[in-house]
Structure 1
C-alpha cells in the first residue's frame, strides 16, 4: 500500500474545535445540547463538523450520561403476527434515536416475564416495553422503580411506569352489534383463554351487545379458544358436534377466525352466504383471507410507535400524556345480511 492509499484518520473533537476557533468543551456542549453560545459560534462549529465529516462516539457520550442506549422488549410470542406489528412500530420509533433493542419472550407466564425483566435489568437497559402479558400491575410498578417501563394492555400511570390500554369491551360490542344489525340473532362466540384480561373484556362486550338488543345470552354458543388458529378450529368443531344452531360467529381474535374459516371450508359451509364471520385485530393477513375478513382493527403498529415515544420520554425524565388511537370496525366480505 502506498502512502497515498493510507486511510484518512478520523477527525477528532479537537480538530473540530481548532477549525471552528472554539474550545473543545464548547464543541462538546453544542453536541449534547447544553451550550449557551452565540448563533455565529454555533454555526461555525456545525460547519466545521460538516467539513471534517466528524462523527462523535455515541456510546462514549451515552456512558458519560450513565446510559446503555438499549431498551428491552418483552414480547409474549415471537412467532405471532400480532406482536410483529407492535415490533414494527417500535423499530420505526427507534430510528434515528441511537437506541437499539433487546427482545425476549415471556410466553404468557408472569414468572417468566419477571425473570426476563430481571435479565434485561442485569444488562443495564435504559427502559423496558412490556407487550401484553400476565404480570400484575404491582410487579410492573416495582420493576419500574429500577428502570422506566411502558406496558400495553393495562391501565397504569406513575412517574416511571405507563400503561397503554385499548377498549376491548367496546371493540367486541362493535363486532357483535354489527352482526345484530345484519339480522343475526344466534351468534356464536369463540372466546379467548381463561384468566386473560383481553379475553374477559371481549366476552363482556359480546354479552353487552346481546343485552342491549334484548337477545338472550346462550352459554352453549360460547366456546373457549386460545387465541391461535387451532383453537378456533377446535372450538367451531365443538359447536357443530353439540348441534348448536347459529348464523354468525364472532371470534375473539383474527387467528381464531382463521381456524374457524378453515373448518367451515372443510364442511362446505359458505362464508358469508351460510354463516357470517367476524374477527378481532385486523392482522395484515386478514385482508387476504378467502373472502377478506371483517374484523375490529387494533392500531398495533401505532401502539408500538406510541410505546417507544412514551418510553424515551420517561427515560429523559419527561411527563407523558398519551392519546391512544381508537378501535375501528373494518367491514369486508365475511359478513352479510341474513336472508
Structure 2
C-alpha cells in the first residue's frame, strides 16, 4: 500500500534534455530531488516534505500539485534515510485472520484509503484464527520495527494484546479496549443478530434455523445471544435442533442445512451468523430444490459486497467494515502522534433485500 502511485508513463523522447533530467528517476547521475518536485509544484521543499509525511494542512490545489509532480517525476524518496532520521520505519503491521476472506478484504480497503497521503506503508500477515500463530506474527512485526499494529479480530486475549501494546501502539477490532497505547473497536453483534431474528419473527416465521459461528469466537457467541433474545421476547421456544454448528465458512453452512433437510427437520427460515455461512446454506437449499424466499427465507450477517449480487440479493446485517478499517487506521495514527481521530463508527443495521418474505 503506497501513499501515491509511483508508476506512470515515461517522458517522451521529444522532451528536451533538461526535462528528461528532471522527470526521470532512472537517471542515476542526476536523480530527481525533493527540491525539483517543489519547484515543479510551485511550493517550498518543506511543504513537499510535510505533505509526504502526512503532516501538512494545505489547500487542496497545492496538495494535488505536489502529488501530481511526484507521480510525473517518478520521485522516490530515500525511505531508509528518512527512517533513520525520524527513528521510524514509516510502516504499520496488519494482522488479519484469513487473507482470502472478503470480510477482511473490505476492512483492508478502508485501511488502505486511510493510509493514502500519510507516507506509511503496510505489512500484512495472517493469524489463521490461531492464538499462538497470531502472537508469533505480532512478534515478527515487532522484530521488523513497525511503528504500530492493527489487529483485525483474532483469538488472542485482551491481556496479551495489552502486553504487546507496551512495545508498539495497537488498535484492535472486535474488542473493547482503551488505554494510552491500545484502542479497540467493537460492533454490537448481539443487537445485529436481534434485528435479523426480529425481522424473521415479524414476517411470521417461528421455525428459524440459526447457523452458529465457532464457539471460541466472541462475535459468534454474541450473535447467538441476540437470536435467543429475540426469540424469547416473542415468546417463541427455541428448538435445539434448529441451532446448528458452523465455522463462518461456506462449507459449514452448506453442511448444516443439508443435514437438517436430510433429517426432515421442518423450518421456514435460516439466519446464518455470517454471510459466508449463508452462501453455503443457499447452495444446500438450491440442491434440495428449496426456493429462496418462496420456501425458505434467508438472512446473513456482515453485508459483504457479494451479498447484493446473489440471486436473489440477500437480506443481511450490515457491519461497517470499510469504515471500521478507516477508523482503526486513524486511531493508530493518533496513537503514533498524529492528530486526534473521529471515534465514531456507524452502528450495525439490517439491510432488507429479496431473500426474506412473510409466511403464507
Tell whether the structures are fold-level matches, with TM greater than 0.5: yes
The separation in 2 between residues aligned to 1:30 and 1:223, in whole angstroms, is 57
| Equivalent residue number for residue 39 of structure 1 | none
- The change in CA–CA distance for 1:15 and 1:94 in structure 2 (over 3 A counts) is closer
Q: Which residue of 2 aligns with 1:202?
A: 223
Residue of structure 1 equivalent to 2:152? 131
What's the counterpart of residue 310 of structure 1? 331
Query: 2:36 & 2:235 partners in 1: Cα distance?
Result: 78
What secondary structure sits across from 1:7 in the alignment? helix
- Measured after TM superposition, the shift of residue 328 of structure 1 is 1.1
- Indicate how the Cα distance of structure 1 residues 15 and 132 shifts in structure 2: closer, same or farther if over 3 A, else same: closer
RMSD: 2.8
Please list, as runs of the form range in 1=range in 2, the aligned pairs for 1:147-296 lying within 5 A after superposition: 147-296=168-317
SS at match of 1:278: strand
SS at match of 1:146: coil
Matching of residues 137-148 of structure 1 within 5 Å: 137-148=158-169
| Equivalent residue runs for 1:43-122 within 5 Å | 57=77, 59=79, 60-122=81-143
Of 58-67 and 68-77, more deviation after overlay is shown by 58-67
In the alignment, which residue of structure 2 is the partner of 1:22? none
Runs of 4+ in 1 over 4 A off after TM superposition: 3-6, 10-17, 26-33, 53-56, 317-321
SS at match of 2:123: strand
Return the offset for 1:220: 1.2
Secondary structure of the corresponding residue to residue 21 of structure 2: coil
CA distance in 2, matches of 1:214, 1:88: 42
Mark the CA change 1:64 to 1:257 in structure 2 (over 3 Å): closer, same or farther.
same
| Post-superposition offset of 1:12 | 5.8
* Residue 244 of structure 1, CA deviation: 1.6
Judging changes above 3 Å, is the alpha-carbon distance between structure 1 residues 75 and 7 closer, same or farther for their aligned structure 2 residues?
same
Would you say the 8 A contact 1:314–1:320 is kept in 2? no
Bigger mean CA deviation after superposition, 176-185 or 317-326:
317-326
Matched-pair contact (CA < 8 Å) for 1:10–1:54: no
| Cα drift, residue 7 of structure 1 | 2.8
Contact 1:159 1:319 in 2 (8 A): no
- Any conservation in 1 of the 2:297–2:357 contact (CA below 8 Å)? yes
2-structure distance, mates of 1:87, 1:138: 25
Write the deviation string for residues 265-293 of structure 1: whole angstroms up to 9, x where unpaired. 11111111111000001111111111110
2:34/2:48 contact within 8 Å kept: no
The structural deviation recorded for 1:307 is 0.8
Q: Closer, same or farther in 2 for the Cα pair 1:137/1:263, shift >3 Å?
A: same
8 A Cα contact 1:169 1:203, kept in partner: yes
1:16–1:54 CA contact under 8 A, matched in 2:
no
Distance 1:157 1:235 in 2: 38
SS at match of 2:231: helix
- Return the offset for 1:190: 0.6
Q: Give the direction of change, closer, same or farther, for the CA distance of 1:319–1:142 in structure 2 (3 Å limit).
A: farther
Instruction: Render the CA deviation track for 1:226-261: whole Å, top value 9, x for unaligned.
Output: 111100000111212332211101011110011111
The count of aligned residue pairs is: 316
Query: 1:56 Cα shift?
Result: 9.1
Distance 1:187 1:311 in 2: 41
With the length of structure 2 as denominator, give the TM-score of the two structures: 0.81
Cα pair 2:134 2:156 within 8 Å, conserved: yes
